Amino acid sequence: MDNKNQLIDIFRQEANEILAEIEDTILDIEQNPDDEESVNKLFRSMHTIKGSGAMFGFDNIADFVHHIETLLDLVRNGSISISSELIDLIFMSKDQIKAMLDSTEEECNFDPGICEIITLKLKNFIPESEKQEFDKKDMDSWDENIDNLPVDADNQTETAFRIRFKPSPDIMLSGMNPVMILNELRDFGECYITTHIGDIKELKHLEPEKCFLSWDIILKAECDIETIKDVFIFVEEDSEVGIKLLEDTDYEDSEKCPPLLGEILLDRGDTTIDNIKKALDNQKKLGELLVESGDISKEKVESALSEQKLLNSLKKPANQDNIRIASDKLDSLINLVGEIVISQASLMQVEENNPDTEFSSPIKKMERLIGELRDISLNMRMMPVGNMFNRFRRLVRDLSLELGKEIDLVIEGGETELDKSIIERLHDPLVHLIRNSIDHGIHSPEERVKNGKPRKGTIRLGAAHHGARVDISIDDDGMGINKDSVKTKALEKGMISNSDKLEESEIFDLIFAPGVTTAAEVTGVSGRGVGMDVVKREINSLGGTIRISSIPKKGTSIHLSMPLTLAIIEGLLIKVEQRTFILPVSQVEACMESKAIRMEKKEDQNMIWIKGNLLPFVRLREFFKIQGNIPKVEHIATFHTGHYNIGVVVDEIVGNVQTVIKPLDRLYSSAKGISGATILGDGSVALIVDLPELIRCAKQDMK
């Protein structure tokens, strides 16, 4: 039972991937309706879902997809042309399949009624002449529409095919039964099947759930090569499938001699001339066969083939380019690597305290190796952001349709890589920001034309590396944000007072406060002023910063700056009264002693002169309310975050460390200005300072 569930899980996983692909393909078709390849791709994807759905007991999905497939087939052969209604319907169908897929026996997430509605609508697209075909619900005929593809039935003569089918050992795990495929081939016509058993291991090494068999099939049938390829459609990815059209088999009428067995073997690439010569010398049997030209004798070829298979298998390199592993396995690997990095740090400390021991050199070597191990394992979790960005195409399409707007989504830098866990957690904030751009940023086509803009708005979603961070930007060419209305809202909420002189960036920052909205009216999409504060909190909790800039009538830009990875950060170890903290080093600009610089208390604000500029600073000791006396010499680290430059004053800057971030649990997660904790080489816990939060709180404290 567990095994079955496991299979169903695999099916779900794969089907979900295919559905994501389907969505992309539909979007492609919408933009370019004449693209036959995309239509074919869509058809193939649907066909795969139908076939594997039926195989794993998702009969409802298979039945439903069958209708879509029929329709798509008619699109392929030109009976139906692509229209926006059709695209909408396919989108609806895709969403319905997704809902059906997510349903379990215990929990039903979809409305079967919608299936019927969609099926009815699909039927309406079908011209009268084709209706009959559509009503065939019989699942046994699921290959029918493939069989009937552009095969010119009248001129069809019998052709011979040589098919070599070597399923991947794991074929049974995916629920495929190779025998079914062989039976299907048998139905086509005269069929000779040879089973190779040479790969089967000794009984004690035999893994019963794996398939070590492979087959050579000689098929004489009235069909074309595509039809045969379709038989293997579900297995072709993992298995070795070779289909070769043999020359005209009608030897009786022709004067041509059929090839000799040796020639066949040569042609198949199973042997070389040398091998045949050798075989001819050693083996009378093969020699006899080579003398007897004509029909292929099963058993004897079999022995020759098995022998050669063995020889060949020795030469064949294993061709495994990619493997699929569960992401939680990867996560535990990363966690372990993190632990190793920490242990290494404590080993280094031991080494520093006892220099020139015999351990020094192995410890140094370990450090280098562990560094590599860390880089490689972190790299495994890096994924291009493009996959996530592409998912927003549907969002933009649907929402702009709903709101009567015309919007292009331009994706740039999709290949930029970011840690998988960051990508996952960025999804929701980005959805929110993009919805905002569509709803508030870009106005209706009519209004845009009135303002001298093109009808169609553009949203640019871009990603790029920026040092140890990744910048993500969302730009729209809309009307921009009205600063005055933001100010008014903030005044109403009492967040600012009339006397406050705010810089532009500070005004835009108000948007992130709860309850502030720039929308004139509340819509179903946005405008309630809920959300931007959540977005900011989520971005900050990922160690990122968010910033808005906007030019009236030109557009709005939102910039996110994210760390590359969450698991391990470079930190600056600092001390205040013997208490250690970590500052994220990716944002540090400079460190210096503060006796060399003048510090002054100006109007109750902490400001410091650095290189001719007045820089605000936070004294960590004061902010964290740590008791004690300020030492004579302090240190200051300066940071650039978002549009603030800020200094953090501490007792001592110890140096750089690599740390693994450990979250604080519920009890301590409300700690102000702390984003997490980490374990140092000596086993003590150090807290990681959350800079953006520190700045925010410091501002509040001052008020």
Partner 1 sequence: MNEISPDEIIEFLTFKLGNDVFALETSRVKEVLKFTGITQVPRMAEYLPGVINLRGNVISIIDISLILNMDGIKNKKTSWFVITEIDQSAESLTIGMMVDSVEDVIRIEASRISPPPEIGIKIDPEFSRGIGKLDDKYFIILDIENIVSVQNIETVQTKQDK
Q: Which residues pair with 649 in a beta bridge?
A: 619, 636
Q: Which residue stretch of 27-35, 246-254, 519-527, 658-666 sits at the interface with partner 1 (rule: CB under 8 A)?
A: 658-666
Q: Which residue stretch of 142-150, 510-518, 631-639, 665-673 sits at the interface with partner 1 (rule: CB under 8 A)?
A: 665-673
Dihedral-angle region of residue 615 (phi above 0 means left; psi in -120 to 50 means alpha; beta otherwise): beta
Other beta carbons within 10 angstroms of residue 144's beta carbon come to 13
For the bound state, the minimum distance from the C-beta of residue 605 to partner 1, rounded and expressed in Å, comes to: 21
Cβ proximity to partner 1, 385 vs 574, nearer residue:
574
Each residue 453-492 as x (binds partner 1 by CB under 8 A) or -, in order, gives: ----------------------------------------
Tell whether the torsion through CA atoms of 586, 591, 597 and 600 is positive or negative. Answer: positive
For the bound state, the minimum distance from the C-beta of residue 541 to partner 1, rounded and expressed in Å, comes to: 16
Phi, psi of 517 (to 5 degrees): -135, 155
Helical H segments across 214-271, by residue range: 225-231, 261-268
Cβ proximity to partner 1, 342 vs 649, nearer residue:
342
For the bound state, the minimum distance from the C-beta of residue 570 to partner 1, rounded and expressed in Å, comes to: 19
Cβ proximity to partner 1, 418 vs 687, nearer residue:
687
Per rule CB under 8 A, is residue 334 in the interface with partner 1? Answer: no
Each residue 670-699 as x (binds partner 1 by CB under 8 A) or -, in order, gives: -xxxx--x-x---xxxxx------------
For the chain, give the number of residues: 703
Token pair, residue 322, equals 């990619």
Which residues ranging from 338 to 377 are in contact with partner 1 (CB under 8 A)? 339, 342
If we measure between CA atoms, which residue out of 657, 655, 697, 656 comes closest to residue 674? 697
Per rule CB under 8 A, is residue 85 in the interface with partner 1? Answer: no
Question: In what helix (H) or strand (E) does residue 4 lie, and over which residues does it extend?
Answer: helix 2-31
Per rule CB under 8 A, is residue 665 in the interface with partner 1? Answer: yes
Token pair, residue 390, equals 């592409």
Cβ proximity to partner 1, 297 vs 343, nearer residue:
343
Which residues ranging from 577 to 616 are in contact with partner 1 (CB under 8 A)? 579
For the bound state, the minimum distance from the C-beta of residue 144 to partner 1, rounded and expressed in Å, comes to: 51
Q: Which residue, chain included where needed, has tokens 């905002």? A: 436
End-to-end CA distance of the chain: 63
Residue 17, SS3 per DSSP: helix
Cβ proximity to partner 1, 113 vs 683, nearer residue:
683
- β-strands 555-563, 568-576: how paired? unpaired
Question: Binder to partner 1 among 191, 246, 599, 626 (CB under 8 A)?
Answer: 626
For the bound state, the minimum distance from the C-beta of residue 667 to partner 1, rounded and expressed in Å, comes to: 4
For the bound state, the minimum distance from the C-beta of residue 684 to partner 1, rounded and expressed in Å, comes to: 5
Q: Which residue, chain included where needed, has tokens 């095969």? A: 151
Question: Binder to partner 1 among 58, 161, 232, 624 (CB under 8 A)?
Answer: 624
Size of the site for partner 1 (CB under 8 A): 25
Cβ proximity to partner 1, 124 vs 578, nearer residue:
578
Cβ proximity to partner 1, 529 vs 673, nearer residue:
673
For the bound state, the minimum distance from the C-beta of residue 685 to partner 1, rounded and expressed in Å, comes to: 4
Cβ proximity to partner 1, 529 vs 692, nearer residue:
692
> Contact, 556 vs 508, CB < 8 A?
no
For the bound state, the minimum distance from the C-beta of residue 180 to partner 1, rounded and expressed in Å, comes to: 45
Rounded CA-CA distance 563/254 in Å is 73
The DSSP-derived string for 29-81 is HHH-TT-HHHHHHHHHHHHHHHHHHHHTT-HHHHHHHHHHHHHHHHHHTTSS-
- C-alpha distances in angstroms, 252 versus 295, 531, 564? 12, 79, 70
> Contact, 53 vs 62, CB < 8 A?
yes
- Which residues are near partner 1 by CB under 8 A? 339, 342, 579, 623-626, 662-668, 671-674, 677, 679, 683-687
